[in-house]
């Protein structure tokens, strides 16, 4: 899966967060280290066991891919 990340260089540090997984944030000295830290943080969050109370259930919600994930239309001609 791919998750959207917002990253930037701030002084001597690279900082970033995953938009799609709130709480996954990182700060590293290099961009590649930042990306790796975000990946590790996402894996840890997604692997975490979630306790459930009696009577609750887990389900999934299917949401269509947003427009920004679709490839651009190339060679479109209007007649």
Tokens standing for 69?
Answer: 């994930």
Tokens standing for 57?
Answer: 């259930």
Residue with tokens 């790796």: 36
Going from N- to C-terminal start, the domains of the chain cover: 1-48
Measured in residues, the chain has a length of 79
2 CB-near residues (< 8 Å, 6+ apart): none
The pTM of the full predicted model, rounded to 2 decimals, is 0.67
Residue 77 has pLDDT above 70, yes or no: no
SS3 per residue for 27-78: EECCHHHHHHHHHHHHHHHHHCCCCCCCCCCCCCCCCCCCHHHCCCCCCCCC
pLDDT in tens, 4-15: 999 999 999 999
pLDDT in tens, 35-74: 999 999 999 999 998 888 899 888 899 989 888 777 766 6
Tokens standing for 77?
Answer: 């001609």
């Amino acid at each position: 899966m791919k998750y959207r990340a917002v990253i930037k260089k701030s002084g001597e540090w690279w900082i970033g967060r995953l938009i799609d997984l709130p709480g996954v944030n990182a700060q590293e000295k290099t961009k590649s280290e930042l990306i790796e830290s975000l990946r590790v943080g996402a894996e840890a969050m997604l692997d975490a066991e979630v306790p459930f109370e009696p009577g609750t259930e887990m389900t999934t919600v299917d949401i269509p891919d947003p427009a920004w994930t679709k490839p651009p239309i190339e060679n479109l001609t209007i007649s």
